[in-house]
Amino acid sequence: MSFSELGLTPPLLAAIRQAGFDQPTPVQEKAIPAALKGTDLMVSAQTGSGKTAAFMLPALNKLSTTKANGGRGVQILVLTPTRELAMQVTQASAEYGSQINGLRVATVVGGMPYGAQLKALSRRLDVLVATPGRLIDHLKAKRVDLSTVHTLILDEADRMLDMGFIDDIKALVAATPASRQTLLFSATLDGTVAKLAQTMMRDPVRIEISSPNERHAQITQSLFYADDGAHKRRLLDHILRDATVDQAIVFTATKRGADELADQLNEQGFSAQALHGDMNQRQRTRTLTAMQRGSLRVLVATDVAARGIDVQTISHAINFDLPMQAEDYVHRIGRTGRAGRNGNAVTLAEHRERHKVKRIEHFIGHTIDSEEIPGMEPRRQASSKPSGVRRGKPPARSAGAAPGGHAAKRSAKPYTEGHAKRSSDRPQRPTSHSRARPSARA
């Protein structure tokens, strides 16, 4: 199927061709025609599947066929959990709407000066992309008019709820017309997300592209056990020196941990920078730009800061610290293997964290095979007993992939100094510039 078969207007099709897109992804094939009918949608799709275009193209299509608001007001409102994701959606909106005359797009997020936001909100806006916290401040101060919104989009709704934005979201939804169209995109459509949908949507069409245990089939996942933090740092150093690592994102549990680890990696000769919530928007934008341009090889980030990062050249996502929530594991590894590319997800865990590993395996529906690097084995050997979770169907191995998860042509030198040896014979699954601050969650 081609984009021209989806029912989009000529200006959007021209913009899509200009952007270099040929065929829609599965989520775009299903969501765009349904959204063009004006129905509410609940969509679950993995990161990197093209979901931004899946909701922005039909919203912009409606915009291009309706008369613009006069004076003040917003027509399309997109709510996202983080600044980085908001900036990404804003950029995509401008790209997809490049052939719509006079399109006005603005971003309202925390950590950025109020001046530019006040100026943008004082006039008509076609597309407003915002984080709930900052937008609710403007709404309470009566600096934004949401009574003209015809399309409301909630991107990564599950994450916004996890971050405690439920009350802000309800208040913002209440400020929009009841006649609006609502498009909700989330990693999961159950639990609190389903309850929220009941209160704000009208007979939504439910679209699920894949279940949790079917996602990230193009990502090789591996697990290394460590005796302590010092052992984990040695393993990380060894893994990052592998020639197959183009760019890596390394996840830590705290902001302070991100700063300290980035400093250590720089001392070891790596081009590394931290990314977390204590950094201002200028610092965060500069760091992400360096990553996108390829001048930065290692990004050390917390969960909140990394949400929504879309850098297609990230070859490895590394869990230096295990996530607090099993669901975050899926979002973390989704930073690699994007847009159909192959990726590698590496998890470093201490033996005392086995229960967290099991929780992750239960959530994703399969075990993560553990490996050892010759000469860097843990003193305490990993148990050979089953993890107690049902093993899901192994994903198809990427073409040319070697048993270690790397491309066959590189298999002669995995992890720089020889083959990682398995702790079992099972087939492998797809695997600062800031100063340190007091420990805090991102």
**Domain membership flag for residue 390:** yes
Instruction: Judge if 169 and 200 occupy the same domain.
Output: yes
Instruction: Judge if 42 and 176 occupy the same domain.
Output: yes
The DSSP secondary-structure symbol of 279 reads S
Instruction: Judge if 176 and 259 occupy the same domain.
Output: no
Query: In angstroms, rounded to a whole number, what is the distance separating the alpha carbons of residues 236 and 408?
Result: 22
Instruction: Judge if 218 and 178 occupy the same domain.
Output: no
**Domain membership flag for residue 431:** no
**Domain membership flag for residue 96:** yes
Q: Which residue has the higher pLDDT, 411 or 121?
A: 121
**Domain membership flag for residue 432:** no
Neighbouring residues of 393: CB distance < 8 A, sequence distance ≥ 6: 213, 366
Query: In angstroms, rounded to a whole number, what is the distance separating the alpha carbons of residues 148 and 226?
Result: 55
Q: Are strands 370-372 and 219-226 parallel, antiparallel or unpaired?
A: parallel
Q: Which domain holds residue 194?
A: 3-210
Last residue of a domain, one of 187, 210, 233: 210
Give me the phi and psi of 208, to 5 degrees please. Answer: -125, 115
| Predicted confidence band of residue 277 (pLDDT cuts 50, 70, 90) | confident
**Domain membership flag for residue 442:** no
For position 148, what pLDDT does the model report?
Answer: 93
Lowest mean pLDDT among 23-37, 54-68, 314-328, 408-422: 408-422
Entry field: residues in the chain: 442
Say whether 432 sits in a helix, a strand or coil: coil
pTM for the full predicted model = 0.62
Which residue type does 361 have? E
- Which tokens is 324 given? 């607090």
**Domain membership flag for residue 40:** yes
Instruction: Judge if 321 and 405 occupy the same domain.
Output: yes
The DSSP secondary-structure symbol of 223 reads E
**Domain membership flag for residue 90:** yes
Strand partners, 383: none
Quote the percentage of the chain above a pLDDT of 70: 81
pLDDT greater than 90 at residue 425: no
Query: In angstroms, rounded to a whole number, what is the distance separating the alpha carbons of residues 378 and 225?
Result: 7
First to last CA, the chain: 42
Instruction: Judge if 227 and 159 occupy the same domain.
Output: no
| Predicted confidence band of residue 216 (pLDDT cuts 50, 70, 90) | low
| Predicted confidence band of residue 427 (pLDDT cuts 50, 70, 90) | very low
Last residue of a domain, one of 210, 233, 267: 210
Instruction: Judge if 146 and 242 occupy the same domain.
Output: no
Instruction: Judge if 196 and 231 occupy the same domain.
Output: no
- Which tokens is 310 given? 């879309």
Instruction: Judge if 285 and 401 occupy the same domain.
Output: yes
- Which tokens is 422 given? 């398995």
Q: CA separation (Å) from 226 to 173, 304, 370, 375, 425? A: 47, 25, 11, 13, 20
- Which tokens is 12 given? 């959007």
Instruction: Judge if 227 and 89 occupy the same domain.
Output: no
Alpha helices (H) in 37-141, listed in sequence order? 51-64, 83-96, 114-121, 132-140
For position 345, what pLDDT does the model report?
Answer: 94
**The sheet that has 219-226: what strands, in order across it?**
272-275, 298-301, 248-251, 316-319, 343-350, 219-226, 370-372, 421-422
Residue 392 sits in a domain whose CATH number is: 3.40.50.300
Q: How many domains does the chain have?
A: 2
Instruction: Judge if 373 and 387 occupy the same domain.
Output: yes
Distance of CA 434 to the CA centre of its chain: 23
Instruction: Judge if 203 and 256 occupy the same domain.
Output: no
Last residue of a domain, one of 145, 179, 210: 210
**Domain membership flag for residue 429:** no
pLDDT tens for residues 29-62? 999 999 999 999 999 876 667 889 999 999 999 9
